[in-house]
Structure 1
Amino acid sequence: MIAQPYRPVTYTIGSVSSGSLPSGMSNMSNMSNMGNMGSMPGMPGMSTMPGMSPMPGMGMGGMMPPQVSSGSPMTPTGTVIPTTAPVFEQSYIENIFRLNLGKVGTFYFTYENNKDWNAKIYKGVLEAAGRDHIIISDPATGQRFVLLMIYFDYATFDEPLLYQYPGVIGNPPTRGGR
């Protein structure tokens, strides 16, 4: 048996047809007489019914709905209004650290269930920041530390920090002389 492409079924109700089948083909018993009614361009063995115009990239069922990104507005006719989403980093600690690479800070860590040292303080230049770690270096010795963020408590810096809040370009203006 040869697989046939999907063809929508049309029925005649009274004298009005629900499709555009040729005369004499108003019920399912005559559907087997259709045969190959014209080849689709570029698709050997595929056929199309009269009145249907195959479109490149479209299936036999007609036009595909447009791709719509979540939250995109649409007109009453169904046209999608393209919008561009603002691109900005979210306010996560690793992003704040990335904005302040090269600054000297004091980093406080707690290591639970450790008999020798429960809490530890590191002071150094912030060299890199990832999702789960930071790399700092001691300016006096040049020694580098890879510290896991799972143990991170907080950090202090002796100079102003760059901080970009989501949706705001640049640093917000400071109040008064504070």
Structure 2
Amino acid sequence: MIGQPYRPVTYMIGSTSSSTGMNGGGMPASGYMGSMPPQVTSGSPMTPTGSVMPTTAPAFEQSYIENIFRLNLGKIGTFYFTYENNKDWNAKVYKGVLEAAGRDHIIISDPATGQRTVLLMIYFDYATFDEPLAYQYPGVIGNPPVARNFR
């Protein structure tokens, strides 16, 4: 096998009027016809011929902890965390107003002092709240009415 030196190639998209880069048959040397591929929304299904099948996005959020926290911003909660392999303190409990929730963190604040704390979800165990929580079950639009007897 004869090793040829590497030569980078630049392709011009949508420009087939010039004979530069053509292979003699009217097609670009790369075999690319010059048209842009279709815009595809992330996760959209495609047919075997390459056309995009339109879908509608669900009107609900999935039941991930950060989404449950986002539905309950402003509520006071108690948050339990475990920090493994820590000699000083293995577990800690934080109480405060839930101000923000991301995929990997929450931000709570102390109502008395206003001090804010960023807590990483990797150490999160569970949380308790003294009031009802808003919760949107996957596949259900809105918060369905819940009739429960709390004794």
TM-score by length of 2: 0.65
Aligned partner of residue 127 in structure 2, secondary structure: strand
Question: 1:43 corresponds to which letter in structure 2?
Answer: S
Matching residue of 2:17: 43
Q: Distance in 2 between matches of 1:143 and 1:66?
A: 49
Matching residue of 1:123: 95
| 1:59/1:171 CA distance change after superposition, 3 Å | same
Higher relative contact order (CA 8 A, sep 6+): 2
Output aligned runs, 1:56-75, within 5 Å. Answer: 59=33, 69-70=44-45
2:141 is the alignment partner of 1:177:
no
Q: Distance in 1 between matches of 2:94 and 2:74?
A: 15
| 1:147/1:82 CA distance change after superposition, 3 Å | closer
Matching residue of 2:84: 112
CA RMSD of aligned residues (A): 3.3
| 1:81/1:118 CA distance change after superposition, 3 Å | closer
Matching residue of 2:66: 94
1:172 to partner: Cα distance: 2.3
Q: Distance in 1 between matches of 2:81 and 2:52?
A: 50
List per-residue Cα deviations over 1:83-126 (Å, max 9, x = no partner): 42324321111111111111000001111122221111111000
Matching residue of 2:124: 152
Q: Distance in 2 between matches of 1:80 and 1:157?
A: 45
Matching residue of 1:141: 113
TM-score by length of 1: 0.56
Identity within the alignment, %: 79
Aligned partner of residue 85 in structure 1, secondary structure: coil
List per-residue Cα deviations over 1:140-170 (Å, max 9, x = no partner): 1211111111111100001111111222111
Q: Distance in 2 between matches of 1:160 and 1:87?
A: 23
1:48 to partner: Cα distance: 8.7
Aligned partner of residue 86 in structure 2, secondary structure: coil
